[in-house]
Amino acid sequence: MKPLSLRFSMVLMLLMGAVRVGAQSLEPRLYSNAPVGLNFLLGGYGFSSGSAITDPSVAVEDGELEVHSPFAAYAHSFGLWGRSAKFDVVVPYSFLSGTATVNGVPASRKVDGFADPSFRVSMNFIGAPALSLAEFKEYQQNFVLGGSLKILAPFGQYDSSKLVNIGTHRWTVKPELGLSKTFGPVVLELVGAVALYTDNDDFQGQTRTQKPIYSAQGHVVYKFRNGIWLAVSSTYYAGGRSATNGVENPDAQSNSRLGATLAIPVNKKISIKLYTSSGVSTRTGSDFDTYGLAWQYRWGGGL
């Protein structure tokens, strides 16, 4: 039997992924199983530098930006039609400063405020049944197929007169499908997703539309006997050409990133996590480095 703390610590990734918006996020172990009835409270901090921006679909070049992002999050695991499922909500706050060229126009900005909150429901369709804590102790994960739907609401700080903002002033809907296969202490994962955007009808007094961004990410996760796990991840995303008042912009994306995540269970209720990622092949919008940490507390479900 694997330590429960090892399996529970994957929820750190479920929540942290919501902070890093859209196709740029790296989220290992999102479709791992967890006992039903658990609650997760998360607090953390992320830092990005380079062409870092909270809206991943905005074309940023020559970026010298810094974004400091504390956040709070909550998640709950439950059963749905006999399968394991989760719900999470993340509320980030950002401090953004620096200069960049956005859609060919130089811009500078120093601002702070709430970023767009995210809401997500995920469900495992195959290989991860809904289990109580007692039943979960005998569960051994093998092959899992799951999906999720994440929505980002346009409630973040936004100034229509500025090119660089914390909020996006539009809705984002991101359906996703993922699978994982366990080989002893190693888990291999593959995830595909598409980010869909509504129109921003107040982009400097104009209407800005955005084509979907398609993404794929892969993870190799190693689970240590003491409950610590380490993941090496990569993602590639493409598309997202925008148009302003119907005129297309030269900002289609084709980018890739690499990252790593280290999760450490302190005890059966508390876990911490460290993560980092960096752009390795950049056309637009991905030339930045990210570092962060998170603290998680869990309760309920008979824990």
Phi and psi torsions of 8, nearest 5°: -70, -30
Count other C-beta atoms under 10 Å from residue 247's C-beta.
8
Please report the pLDDT score of residue 266 as a whole number. Answer: 94
Residue 123 above 90 pLDDT?
yes
Please report the pLDDT score of residue 56 as a whole number. Answer: 55
pLDDT band at 88 (very low <50, low <70, confident <90, very high): very high
216 neighbors 238 (Cβ within 8 angstroms): no
Query: Which are the contacts of 24, defined by CB distance < 8 A and separation ≥ 6?
Result: 56, 235, 237, 255, 257, 286
pLDDT band at 185 (very low <50, low <70, confident <90, very high): very high
Identity of residue 114: F
Higher pLDDT, 237 or 281: 237
Which residue segments constitute the domains of the chain, with CATH numbers given? 4-300 (2.40.160.40)
CA angle 32, 212, 247 (to 5 degrees): 165
Average pLDDT over residues 192-218: 94
Average pLDDT over residues 26-49: 91
Least confident window among 28-37, 38-47, 123-132, 144-153: 28-37
Higher pLDDT, 1 or 270: 270
Higher pLDDT, 185 or 51: 185
Please report the pLDDT score of residue 20 as a whole number. Answer: 45
Query: Which helix or strand (DSSP H or E) is residue 134 part of?
Result: helix 133-136
Tokens of 164: 């660089």
Q: Which of 284, 202, 274 is nearest to 12 (CA)?
A: 274
Residue 6 above 50 pLDDT?
no
Higher pLDDT, 223 or 53: 223
Please report the pLDDT score of residue 278 as a whole number. Answer: 85
Residues 282, 297: Cα–Cα separation, whole Å = 36
Least confident window among 46-50, 221-225, 228-232: 46-50
Residue 211 above 60 pLDDT?
yes
pLDDT tens across 131-178, in order?
999 999 889 999 999 999 999 999 999 998 887 788 999 999 999 999
Q: Which of 101, 77, 23, 100 is nearest to 55 (CA)?
A: 23
Q: Which of 285, 197, 212, 206 is nearest to 247 (CA)?
A: 206
Q: Which of 243, 62, 217, 226 is nearest to 148 (CA)?
A: 217
Query: Which helix or strand (DSSP H or E) is residue 108 part of?
Result: strand 105-114
Please report the pLDDT score of residue 264 as a whole number. Answer: 95
Q: Which of 46, 50, 47, 16 is nearest to 30 (CA)?
A: 16
In the chain, how long is the greatest CA-to-CA distance?
59
Tokens of 216: 């794929």
Least confident window among 9-13, 68-72, 117-121: 9-13
Higher pLDDT, 240 or 190: 190
For residue 197, the cross-strand partners are: 172
Give the CA distances from residue 76 to residues 6, 40, 42, 293, in Å, rounded to whole numbers and listed in that order. Answer: 17, 6, 12, 21
